[in-house]
A and B are shown apart, each in its own frame.
Chain A
Amino acid sequence: MYAFEFERPTTVDDAVKALASEDAQALGGGQTLIPTLKQRLAAPETLVSLGGIAEMKGVCIGDSGEVCIGGATSHATVAAEAGQYPALAELAAHIGDPAVRNRGTIGGSLANNDPSACYPAAALGSNATIITNKRDIAADDYFQGMFTTALEEGEIITEVRFPVPEKANYQKFVQPASRFALVGVFVAKYSDGVRVAVTGASEEGVHRWSEAEEALSADFSADAISGLSVPADGLIGDLHGTPEYRAHLVKVMTGRAVTASA
């Protein structure tokens, strides 16, 4: 790692101020950023830890029943405390491994927007609201391609609000070496329709599968998508799977998620 200064503010305001200085970067759980720094792929002057900010931690229920998660809440806490949204708690419980879940945070995962990460699928599949120190962003507007989001320089995710669906499920086909999703599909059935969000598959990062959403909104059963097919164009191809293989997995995982939805 290159050398950097380390700061650990205790309020969002102080963190925002610290992040305003040149080449300052936020540190969530560090489960992505610290390995990146070790490889010298990033060289911040100052790392501003969000880990000491109590107001950014924890899970609560909002006025309209939505599950609200502080931006610096660990995956383990979400797994243990977001029981009001079981599919979300279950997703958090299967990110990486226990030690990663004890440090990694929802804000870090959504800010990073790794094309194979789990939380982006839950956020897009639920049309969650990403709340920052500046504004509220709908998930539909937030994800802008692989490792790209609507966040501006120095903007901090302070909270994420998930409307709770009638039924939902996340199916992750694990890439066993990294433990990320080779393909993951999050399906959520709301009273006004079904949302299907796919991670791990596309060169564009997390995205919705609108054909499946239409079919499932009319008939919420795995049979409803049996006639659909996913084009392999624009899907990721690497040593773990070809674009055609991922296209196939998208459909299989969607069917499984529908069947397992509870």
Chain B
Amino acid sequence: MTQVSMTVNGKAVSGEVEGRTLLSGFLRDSLNLTGTHVGCDTSQCGACVVHVDGVAVKACAMLAGEAEGAEVTTIEGMAKPDGSLSTIQQAFQDHHGLQCGFCTPGMVMSAAALLQDNPNPSETEIREYLEGNICRCTGYHNIVKAIMAAAGQDVSKIAAE
């Protein structure tokens, strides 16, 4: 066992981990931040996407030890300081960007990373960026619509599906 320390959602945290402990495991099991979902365990689905030092990574494909000293943001760190939903989260709610909700944490984290790099993405750019996030309810249309809305685009003419 070794000690790891990092900042998660603005708070300094540390814990004992095994060499093989994944970042997703550390977040979920040691910190009880179970919003980071593990969907596939094969790096395909993206439900476990978190931000490490400002970029999106799959927490199930990174060892906790690799995040030593890093700034990590999970879905639990996305709401505004007063607890109300962030613009992206609110847009997912307003535009029915989720069905069962399992993929949603990863979708929101990927969307936030996209909008950070590219504040006004086209529909094509959004779809390309979400290549590594799978929604098994196949609710992509409204997810894309929610992200366009979060970017401040007029989505009123896009049919609800």
Binding site for B on A (CB under 8 A): 1-6, 8, 27, 30-31, 34-35, 37-38, 46-47, 49, 51, 76, 96-100, 102-103, 179
* CB-based contact A103/B57 at 8 Å: yes
* CB-based contact A6/B55 at 8 Å: no
Give the 5 A-B residue pairs with the shortest CB-CB distance, closest first.
A97-B132, A6-B19, A97-B131, A102-B55, A1-B20
Given contacts A37-B20, A97-B131, 11 further A-B contacts (CB under 8 A): A3-B18, A4-B20, A5-B19, A8-B65, A34-B61, A34-B62, A34-B63, A98-B110, A99-B110, A99-B132, A103-B62
> Contacts of A46 on B, CB cut-off 8 Å?
19
Instruction: Judge if B94 is at the interface, Cβ distance under 8 Å.
Output: no
> Contacts of A99 on B, CB cut-off 8 Å?
46, 49, 56-58, 61, 110, 132
- Residues 100-135 of B, flagged 1 when their CB comes within 8 A of A and 0 if not, give 000000000010011000000000000001011100
> Contacts of B131 on A, CB cut-off 8 Å?
96-98, 179
> Contacts of B63 on A, CB cut-off 8 Å?
6, 27, 30, 34, 47, 49
Q: A96 vs B49: C-alpha distance in the bound complex, in angstroms? A: 14
Cβ of B112 to closest chain A Cβ, rounded Å: 12
Cβ of A217 to closest chain B Cβ, rounded Å: 35
> Contacts of B55 on A, CB cut-off 8 Å?
76, 102
> Contacts of A96 on B, CB cut-off 8 Å?
131-132
Instruction: Judge if B16 is at the interface, Cβ distance under 8 Å.
Output: no
* CB-based contact B20/A98 at 8 Å: no
